[in-house]
């Protein structure tokens, strides 16, 4: 069984393990106040071109989201996100557990637009009885989205402007940030994100780390007392060094981008295989998650040797499935998968594969 | 600088690192549903002699406490603990953040007694206007306590009985459980704890792991839906395997107890050194935390080469300080420390050291 | 200006004021433990045909909803309701403030169906990763709905069955319950509601009381410790007698139903007036809220002498507006309104009023 | 049975009932935006000499406290109060339910001092690991205290200064404010309170109203969005007029102070009776609550005709009991009580009553 169900099926990047071993017997202070964390902070600030930005290391994404959102909002305030947003769908109500409503915007593809956000904000603020409704006071986006798509610089700038007009923070969940940075069509670099967002996090767990997310806070006011919040949310690792060492390793010598590129390349090979086999896609993703639509027979055949996610039942006997690559995805495994896609789709697929005429093996 | 300020100054036990490396490229399911976790669960159940007990792996202690307590209590209920209890003092209000009051009982030494708990419960239930007060509905103890002390089997049994009388759960925070098990005077074994408590956790972070706590739930009813709570509290590690592998390693071949014994032995050497030097102790701890009382001069001299915790300012110019050992504490470092304690106390101490007559070096 | 914007523009029913005056100098116990409350409880139990039901008096609807829902759910659980449900739209996130997600179902008319609820529950429980999502664990309906509609006995029975299958409670928000009971097409009586729901509240504020809602809990288990919850949510009135006296008055001699009938009769007159004037309605309401759709000119003319709610902007220059009657609505004021509707719609309406041919005044 | 157990055994002051009746059929806007509320706001602002202060009307004290505190604190922050403070003892964990710890200071008499608060704040801010503890960020006092005592202008000014030094708000719970204002030794007037506190509330429920507390917020920043919080906490009365009318009545023509004086006068008569009878007092209260210490026999005899509160069991066979007067306490009832105190204490008391020699009735 080859696993393509998610980007955390393997352990950590070997260089991370090496660094952990090398430093294991050194004695350090706890709770992220060690020198490894300090170094990692510096490197990340450098990568973002913002010396004034603070960086905190948390253990996981759900924790990072709940901690950030709860630290920013007052009790009557709510966060806006796409209906597909991770905080709205797959965090077991962690945001609501801190007392806040998650206001969802309809979204075909997992992205939200500045126009949508503006409309929602305008409606709230023009309602004379608005105090009967939670106050929308923060925008959450994921980049890449849960659907594999990425925001362009223009789109993010537009969201920024809407937030500025209402003086509310923009927060970007970068659980898979590396895979966005590595996408061919990407025009949003770390420095852009650090400039356009008030808060964001750089995902480690899904991009080569054992675990860990680097929360970046771009304003002193939003950063105030943030360490209390980390502690209260159970995110302050006693041996915080393990987070520092991992992020130092990931951001030294461009490892983060390098391994992200591998994932995206392999994902593109899978995309092409399904495309050539005549499959449609639920989303046209340029990143490490691919959402081909297959019929029951193809799905069944593929599932004999591969694990992948059943994403959405579609009309007819179709299913949108998800194949995910990561820093750890091996080229030879993708070779095997690509061959199987071709073979299975020719046998069981409905449309004529694009190669079947020219190249009937 | 040799660090004795806490039990998480070093990394992880080498065997844990080895196990992580060995399994790093294997593909597994996420979120603790992998086979490593399953194996670790089995070994822990075996060690506790309870096949019916469920085991969940969380990342840290504050998180484990908040998750367990919030999963058990209804909104109007409160948890009882010693005024020195970790949840009452050093978790940034994590329990209150889930909506519950922490009711504290006065405690000289960090322990609470069955009599105290009974009195508090009786008072609540005999108050005709009790619905104006939070309802005490769970007992939290730490073992060893934050003061290094341990409960005896008799004491724990008495607490159990009081809880049974009111039908409320007893929860044991075992952040340093290994160091209790390894104490000379200990008569409470894993199986006793699993029998007498409704919930408890076996600490990994402070006993050789990189991170991780194994929450054990001894009743099906209390265990119901617990995984939702872990997820909601940000404690469900995507690469849950890392928790399974660590706990498997710790509980295979008795490693957990073995490394705990080392810590306690070294702590006893430090204890004896201060004792012989004529120092009093804030608590008479049989575990890896030692609380000698020293004067300003001694404290100042010691702090030149050792990091330790300033625990409590005492009358006169005295300070209770805390020296902590761990699985990683090296014998040679304790040699050095012991010699320095002798030397410094002879020079700056107030009482005549016990060895100074017989053995005037 | 005649007010038809809501059902709480006037004070309290005169008989309530009389009862308050008459009993004002009597001395009673506080917090709802007085004899007036006890009598009111008995009368309500009688009216519901359930001796085993407990009744608690709270001050307002938002408070009643948050208190009931928080008392029932565990932290990882969510409540299901229509997207138009009061708890989802007009309670400032009070439910989320207690930590719970409100899961909304799409609804054209403000009602939800057993089929919808079943589908949502089935989807959750068949999802192998369901612990990543809040667990739907309670159903909330309002009756009449915020759109003025009512559930039939068959519909409520079907919801009951779905809840039973998953063993989750059904909760009915009866803020305007009287106006449902008084509707011509109603077939759901107090006893049916008390039999089919696990919890419900009988609205006082909108049906003649100064304030007050009677929360009825139909199971001992759900009722356990409920008074703690009332107190914690700030709903335990010190002079609880004022709630008891009001509900005693409302449920003695059928006053509650009698005044509700007046409201519905007057609402029907308004409905007919708009209908005859050729207006469509957003919802076909049989209760005290009416939602005619008018053009800008009609809306503007009407607003010169009447206050009503702008409910929803519609395509074209249309607006759905809301006219609300209450126990206090005077026949002569409705006479005036009806005449004005006729006059204004004839002058500014688009369709030919139904009476304009036969009866050209 | 004559009731002296609390200050809410009767209904409302007759003038309030009159005002309610007189205005009952007027139509107004809901939710506190009516003209009665507006007038009441103006009168209260005038009484406080602060035009810039905002006034909100809530239903009860527990609700007012939770709403105010939750609106001010960020999630990691805690409120400081006396261990006897109402929020720490008799609000069923309402503050904790909003996520905040209540940090209690020891207090013999129910008051806290500026020195105590300063020490606590200094300790927190000088702790290098302070982010592991909830951050003390607000001071709560009750005035009069739950023990009947009052703060002097000097004491309140000192607390103000400590709060200013740390830039944290000072909040005064005035559930019984009238009885403080009416005390002989009082030197803190409404204007002083409005100047020295950031937030406070003027109690209505215990001082002649049916219900209702006027929350006064003395800074625009703290007042921002407060109406959302009221609504979220279930404190926004639909028929808000009832709050406005009551506070207008209480603050017009000095009624509030006038009826408070009656309560205090009657309390002083009870105090003198116990004093003359040789009783000690738990607290030397100048307000409407009196805490005489009586033996079991006296307590038992008194309880035959009077209801009062058993406050605290004392050494020997003594009990501290509480007698409370209110705006509604009748002189003739106090006459009877005073006579009974004399009679019973002479028969069953231990000390010789002061009048027994000169005037052996």
Q: Give the pLDDT confidence score for residue B353 in this predicted structure.
A: 67
Q: Does C29 touch chain B if contact means CB atoms closer than 8 Å? A: no
* Residue A77, SS3 per DSSP: strand
Q: Does C251 share its domain with C182?
A: yes
How far is Cα D232 from Cα C97, in angstroms, rounded to an integer?
8
Cis peptide before A144 (omega within 30 of 0): yes
Q: Give the pLDDT confidence score for residue A349 in this predicted structure.
A: 84
Q: Would the pLDDT of D174 be above 70? A: yes
Residue B90 and residue D134: Cβ atoms within 8 Å? no
Q: Does C172 share its domain with C294?
A: no
Of C17, C26, C27, the CB nearest to D24: C17
Nearest chain B Cα distance for residue D100, angstroms: 6
Whether A25 contacts B328, CB under 8 Å: yes
Q: Does A227 share its domain with A103?
A: yes
Q: Does C186 share its domain with C323?
A: no
Q: What is the CATH number of the domain that holds C324?
A: 3.90.1150.10
Q: Does D339 share its domain with D201?
A: no
pLDDT tens digits, D277-312: 999 999 999 999 999 999 999 999 999 999 999 999
Q: Can you name the residues that pair with C294 across neighbouring β-strands? A: C319
Does A90 fall in a domain? yes
Nearest chain B Cα distance for residue D91, angstroms: 5
**Chain C residue with minimum CA distance to B222:** C74
Could you give the residue ranges of the DSSP H alpha helices within chain A?
14-23, 35-48, 61-72, 86-89, 94-97, 114-126, 153-166, 177-181, 190-196, 220-223, 226-232, 241-251, 255-276, 296-302, 331-348
Q: Give the pLDDT confidence score for residue C350 in this predicted structure.
A: 75
How far is Cα B326 from Cα B288, in angstroms, rounded to an integer?
7
Residue A11 and residue B242: Cβ atoms within 8 Å? yes
Q: Does B227 share its domain with B298?
A: no
Write out chain A residues lying below 8 Å of B228, CB-based: 92
Q: Give the pLDDT confidence score for residue C73 in this predicted structure.
A: 98
Q: Does B345 share its domain with B211?
A: no
ipTM value for the complex = 0.95
Q: What is the CATH number of the domain that holds D226?
A: 3.40.640.10
Q: Would the pLDDT of D62 be above 70? A: yes
Q: Which two tokens stand for residue B353?
A: 């050291």
Q: Give the pLDDT confidence score for residue C353 in this predicted structure.
A: 67
Q: Give the pLDDT confidence score for residue D359 in this predicted structure.
A: 45
Q: Give the pLDDT confidence score for residue A188 in this predicted structure.
A: 97
Last residue of a domain, one of C255, C286, C320: C255
Task: Count the domains in chain C.
Answer: 2
Residue C97 and residue A93: Cβ atoms within 8 Å? no
Q: Map tokens 């159970």 to a residue.
A: A234
Q: Does D236 share its domain with D93?
A: yes
pLDDT tens digits, D112-142: 999 999 999 999 999 999 999 999 999 999 9
Write the DSSP string, D119-142: HHHHHHHH-TTGGGSPEEEEEEEE
Q: Map tokens 């054992």 to a residue.
A: A210
How far is Cα B198 from Cα B243, in angstroms, rounded to an integer?
22
Q: Does B280 share its domain with B150?
A: no
Q: Give the pLDDT confidence score for residue D360 in this predicted structure.
A: 41
Q: Give the pLDDT confidence score for residue A356 in this predicted structure.
A: 53
Residue A132 and residue D76: Cβ atoms within 8 Å? no
pLDDT tens digits, B100-109: 999 999 999 9
E strands, chain B, are: 2-3, 54-58, 77-82, 102-105, 135-142, 170-174, 199-203, 213-217, 289-290, 293-295, 306-307, 309-313, 318-324
* Residue D205, SS3 per DSSP: coil
Average pLDDT in chain D: 96
Of B76, B229, B236, the CB nearest to C225: B76
Does A8 fall in a domain? no
How far is Cα B241 from Cα B243, in angstroms, rounded to an integer?
5
Q: Would the pLDDT of A361 be above 50? A: no
Q: Give the pLDDT confidence score for residue B361 in this predicted structure.
A: 42
Query: Residue D99's pLDDT band (boundaries 50, 70, 90)?
Result: very high
Q: Does A285 share its domain with A229?
A: no
Cis peptide before D269 (omega within 30 of 0): no
A221 Cβ contact list (under 8 Å, min separation 6) = none
In terms of residue numbers, what domain contains A31? 14-255
Q: Can you name the residues that pair with D2 across neighbouring β-strands? A: D306
Query: Residue D350's pLDDT band (boundaries 50, 70, 90)?
Result: confident
How far is Cα A318 from Cα A314, in angstroms, rounded to an integer?
5
Q: Does D74 touch chain A if contact means CB atoms closer than 8 Å? A: yes
Q: Would the pLDDT of D220 be above 70? A: yes
Whether B247 contacts B58, CB under 8 Å: no
pLDDT tens digits, D239-261: 999 999 999 999 999 999 999 99
Does B18 fall in a domain? yes
pLDDT tens digits, A116-165: 999 999 999 999 999 999 999 999 999 999 999 999 999 999 999 999 99
Average pLDDT in chain C: 96
pLDDT tens for chain B, residues 1 to 361 = 899 999 999 999 999 999 999 999 999 999 999 999 999 999 999 999 999 999 999 999 999 999 999 999 999 999 999 999 999 999 999 999 999 999 999 999 999 999 999 999 999 999 999 999 999 999 999 999 999 999 999 999 999 999 999 999 999 999 999 999 999 999 999 999 999 999 999 999 999 999 999 999 999 999 999 999 999 999 999 999 999 999 999 999 999 999 999 999 999 999 999 999 999 999 999 999 999 999 999 999 999 999 999 999 999 999 999 999 999 999 999 999 999 999 999 999 877 666 554 444 4
How far is Cα A294 from Cα A273, in angstroms, rounded to an integer?
12
Last residue of a domain, one of A224, A255, A286: A255
Nearest chain A Cα distance for residue D79, angstroms: 15
Decide the pairing of beta strands B135-142 and B170-174. Answer: parallel
Write out chain D residues lying below 8 Å of C62, CB-based: 231-232, 234, 236
Q: Give the pLDDT confidence score for residue D195 in this predicted structure.
A: 98
Q: Give the pLDDT confidence score for residue C349 in this predicted structure.
A: 84
Q: Would the pLDDT of A359 be above 60? A: no
Higher-confidence residue: C359 or D208? D208
Question: Region A171-175: what's the mean pLDDT?
Answer: 98
Q: Does A279 share its domain with A294?
A: yes
Write the DSSP string, C180-249: HHTSTT----HHHHHHH-SEEEEE-TTTTSSS-EEEEE--HHHHTTHHHHHHHTT---TTTHHHHHHHHH
Residues in chain B: 361
Q: Give the pLDDT confidence score for residue B355 in this predicted structure.
A: 59
Number of neighbours of residue A339 by Cβ within 10 angstroms? 12
**Chain A residue with minimum CA distance to D68:** A75
Q: Give the pLDDT confidence score for residue A183 in this predicted structure.
A: 98
Q: Does D29 touch chain C if contact means CB atoms closer than 8 Å? A: yes
Does D3 fall in a domain? no
How far is Cα D90 from Cα D227, in angstroms, rounded to an integer?
25
Q: Does A31 share its domain with A163?
A: yes
pLDDT tens digits, C93-135: 999 999 999 999 999 999 999 999 999 999 999 999 999 999 9
Q: Which two tokens stand for residue B58?
A: 């969380």
Last residue of a domain, one of B255, B281, B298: B255
Whether D201 contacts D231, CB under 8 Å: no
Does A274 fall in a domain? yes
**Chain A residue with minimum CA distance to D235:** A132
pLDDT tens digits, A313-352: 999 999 999 999 999 999 999 999 999 999 999 999 877 6
Q: Can you name the residues that pair with B260 across neighbouring β-strands? A: none
Interface test with B, best of D93, D129, D307 (most B CBs within 10 A): D93
Does D327 fall in a domain? yes
Q: Give the pLDDT confidence score for residue B291 in this predicted structure.
A: 98
Does D335 fall in a domain? yes
Nearest chain B Cα distance for residue C10, angstroms: 34
Q: Does D221 touch chain A if contact means CB atoms closer than 8 Å? A: no
Q: Give the pLDDT confidence score for residue C352 in this predicted structure.
A: 64
Does C160 fall in a domain? yes
Q: Give the pLDDT confidence score for residue A353 in this predicted structure.
A: 67
């Amino acid at each position: 069984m080859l696993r393509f169900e998610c980007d955390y099926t393997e352990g950590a990047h070997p260089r991370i393990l090496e660094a952990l071993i090398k430093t294991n017997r050194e004695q350090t202070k706890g709770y992220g106040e060690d020198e490894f964390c300090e170094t990692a902070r510096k490197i990340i600030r450098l990568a973002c071109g913002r010396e004034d930005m603070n960086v905190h290391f948390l253990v996981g994404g759900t924790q990072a989201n709940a901690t950030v959102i709860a630290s920013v909002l007052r009790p009557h305030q709510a966060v806006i996100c796409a209906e597909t947003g991770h905080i709205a769908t797959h965090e077991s109500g962690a945001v609501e557990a801190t007392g806040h409503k998650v206001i969802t915007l309809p979204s075909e593809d997992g992205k939200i637009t500045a126009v949508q956000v503006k409309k929602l904000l305008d409606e709230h603020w023009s309602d004379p009885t608005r105090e009967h409704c939670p106050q929308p006071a923060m925008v959450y986006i994921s980049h890449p989205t849960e659907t594999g798509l990425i925001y362009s610089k223009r789109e993010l700038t537009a969201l920024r402007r809407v937030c500025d007009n209402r003086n509310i923070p923009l927060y970007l969940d970068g659980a898979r940030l590396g895979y966005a940075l590595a996408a061919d069509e990407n025009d949003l670099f770390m420095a852009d994100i650090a400039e356009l967002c008030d808060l964001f996090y750089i995902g480690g767990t899904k991009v080569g780390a054992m675990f860990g997310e680097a929360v970046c806070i771009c304003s002193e006011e939003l950063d105030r007392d943030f360490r209390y919040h980390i502690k209260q949310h159970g995110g302050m690792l006693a041996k915080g060094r393990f987070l520092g060492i991992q992020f130092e390793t990931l951001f030294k010598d461009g490892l983060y981008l390098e391994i992200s590129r591998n994932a995206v390349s392999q994902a593109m090979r899978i995309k092409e295989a399904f495309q050539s086999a005549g499959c449609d896609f639920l989303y046209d993703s340029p990143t490490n998650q691919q959402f081909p639509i297959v019929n029951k027979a193809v799905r069944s055949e593929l599932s004999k040797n591969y694990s992948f996610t059943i994403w959405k039942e579609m009309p007819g006997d179709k299913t949108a499935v998800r194949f995910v690559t990561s820093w750890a995805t091996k080229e030879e495994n993708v070779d095997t998968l690509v061959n199987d896609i071709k073979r299975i789709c020719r046998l069981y697929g409905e449309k004529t594969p694009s190669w079947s005429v020219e190249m009937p093996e």
